[in-house]
Structure 1
Amino acid sequence: MKKLLFFSLTVILILNYILLPSQVSAYSYGDPGEEQIAEAYKELENHLEQDDWEKAKAVYSSYEKDFNLYFTKTQPDIDMAFETNDKQLLLRSWQAALRLNIERRLHFAEDQFEDYGQAKLLLAKARGTFSVLESLVIEKVGQEKTDEIYVAFDESLKALGNPGLFGIGSKGNDKETFLNNVTYIETELRPLFPIVAELDEGESHLTEENLDLKTGADEIGSSSFWLWFSVGLIVLLGILIIINKRKGKN
């Protein structure tokens, strides 16, 4: 009897150990609660709609350590946004941080690819972050493209395979498919949620007006005139020298 009880407890513990990671990291489609910094964005947005900068600052303070560690490139823009009470700059900078968070989660999912439970959890967090940005993605590129990005997440999940229970129902993984879908997700999102400071640095502010293209054209024409004028003088001088030499001979 004792042996049977001991065996039963052992089996229960083993099953809990195996099943718990899958339950914790299970996909809950449409559940952005997988990533707290993504949830915080919605809270931040609500505070800014109420023009409550004090509460908005409190939200940022709660995640400032994350920004210090992972999203440092967005911090100058965020600091500037709070200094100038620029709502759009603050939202765009947080959106850029969420995009970076997706890339971070996907990167570590790649590193943990052979660890099904960890890779699945990290992929779920990336997808949860994307779901918070979903409405913005729809605004920027439309529903069809947004759906395609979701499909890439789904295909990435499938590519992880499944170890099954005691090997029963196991499915092999496919890292190449995983990487292709991850690359697609990152490539599609990067231009949609750029770091504002980097965007400004990369943009050319030169226009036809401040380049003064018309004046430049006039200067080119003027330079051509003087070039041909100089050539003409040299040719004329050469002709005069030849004439003088002939006169001297005569």
Structure 2
Amino acid sequence: MRTMLKTAMLFVALFLALAPSGAWAYSYGDANKEDVAETFKLVVSSLGKSPADWKTAEAAHKERREEIVSHFGEEVAATLDANLKARDADLTIANYKAILIMNLDRRFDNALQSIADYTQAKLLLAKARATYEALAPYAEAKLSPEALNGLNADFDAALDAIGNPGLFGVGQKDADAEALKADANKIYGALKPLFPYAPAAGGGKNPDEAAQAAEPDAIDGTKQHAAMARESKTNPAVTVGVIAGIVVVGGGAVWAARRKGWL
């Protein structure tokens, strides 16, 4: 009986040690990959060909259009529709860069609103950083190396600002919403002027008002952005895979320990 109890305790310890943080609640996809940014890269590569591959660019936009409408509004999606229809590669790419700025606003806003949930806030900051990294090659031509280094430091500071739940209270650090807001606005404020949005004519709004609505001056954590449902759901396949891996590794460790007489 004592041997069985020791075996069970060791297995539980291994399970807790090996289980990746957040595997159960936020296991969908790659946290460091942003769908909107990936679409932007595909559009840029397609339109950069000679001749431009409009078919692929239009297909990529069509696949992402519903999400663009959900997060940034029908007017923004319609502007991209018009840019593609006009076969204006420069304007299409410029407005997709602006969409990434809008996405930074969305991710930072939602991180501020989710700051009490460390795992979710961390995921949102990872998505924000993935968005920035898609823009970084274009920012390099507009900003000094010192400014770029500052942006990377601001992202690190933002991650620090969400605190840390620690492990059983060890290493716990409270989140600082004001620090996160300040860091987010440093990043957003540096990048927003570099990639302005140019709304299409006939969108029903004054162009200046449309641009301001799409790219506000500051991030305050109060704007309501549609949440991506898949971010808050568990991916059963990933979860089962994690559990299976832990069972295999943990079982092997227990078997080895018993062979050596440690149990």
In structure 2, the partner of 1:4 is: 6
Distance 1:44 1:32 in 2: 22
Q: Which amino acid aligns with 2:5?
A: K
Q: Which amino acid aligns with 1:38?
A: A
The answer to whether the 8 Å contact 2:108/2:184 transfers is yes
Distance 1:61 1:197 in 2: 18
Distance 1:74 1:40 in 2: 15
SS in 1 for 2:142: helix
Relative to its length, the structure with more helix (as a share) is: 1
The answer to whether the 8 Å contact 2:158/2:183 transfers is yes
Among candidates 185, 188, 197, match of residue 186 of structure 1: 188
- Kindly provide the CA deviation profile for residues 39-79 of structure 1, in whole angstroms up to 9, marking residues without a partner as x: 22122111101201001111112211211211224223211
In structure 2, the partner of 1:35 is: 34
Among candidates 201, 208, 213, match of residue 202 of structure 1: 208
* Alpha-carbon offset, residue 21 of structure 1: 2.2
Distance 2:180 2:32 in 1: 24
In structure 1, the partner of 2:238 is: none
TM-score, length-scaled by structure 2: 0.67
The answer to whether the 8 Å contact 1:32/1:38 transfers is no
Distance 2:178 2:32 in 1: 29
* Alpha-carbon offset, residue 198 of structure 1: 8.1
Distance 1:188 1:101 in 2: 15
* Alpha-carbon offset, residue 83 of structure 1: 1.3
Structure 2 residue 189 is the aligned partner of structure 1 residue 172 = no
1:96-245 paired onto structure 2 within 5 Å: 96-197=98-199, 201-202=207-208
Distance 2:70 2:195 in 1: 19
Q: Which amino acid aligns with 2:129?
A: R
In structure 2, the partner of 1:78 is: 80
In structure 2, the partner of 1:208 is: none
Q: Which amino acid aligns with 2:40?
A: Y
Q: Which amino acid aligns with 1:177?
A: A
**Equivalenced residues, count:** 197
Measured on the aligned residues, the alpha-carbon RMSD in Å equals 2.8
In structure 1, the partner of 2:60 is: 59
Distance 1:134 1:56 in 2: 21
Distance 1:86 1:136 in 2: 19
More deviation, 178-187/80-89: 178-187
Question: Computing the radius of gyration over CA atoms, which structure comes out larger, 1 or 2?
Answer: 1
Gaps of at least 5 residues in structure 1 are 26-30, 204-250
Distance 1:40 1:77 in 2: 16
* Alpha-carbon offset, residue 102 of structure 1: 1.1
Decide whether aligned partners of structure 1 residues 190 and 43 sit closer, same or farther in structure 2, where only a CA change above 3 A counts. same
Q: Which amino acid aligns with 1:86?
A: D
SS in 2 for 1:21: coil
Decide whether aligned partners of structure 1 residues 181 and 133 sit closer, same or farther in structure 2, where only a CA change above 3 A counts. same
Answer 1 or 2: higher relative contact order, Cα 8 Å, separation at least 6: 2
Q: Which amino acid aligns with 1:47?
A: S
* Alpha-carbon offset, residue 32 of structure 1: 9.6
Gaps of at least 5 residues in structure 2 are 210-263
* Alpha-carbon offset, residue 111 of structure 1: 1.1
* Alpha-carbon offset, residue 85 of structure 1: 0.2
Decide whether aligned partners of structure 1 residues 136 and 149 sit closer, same or farther in structure 2, where only a CA change above 3 A counts. same
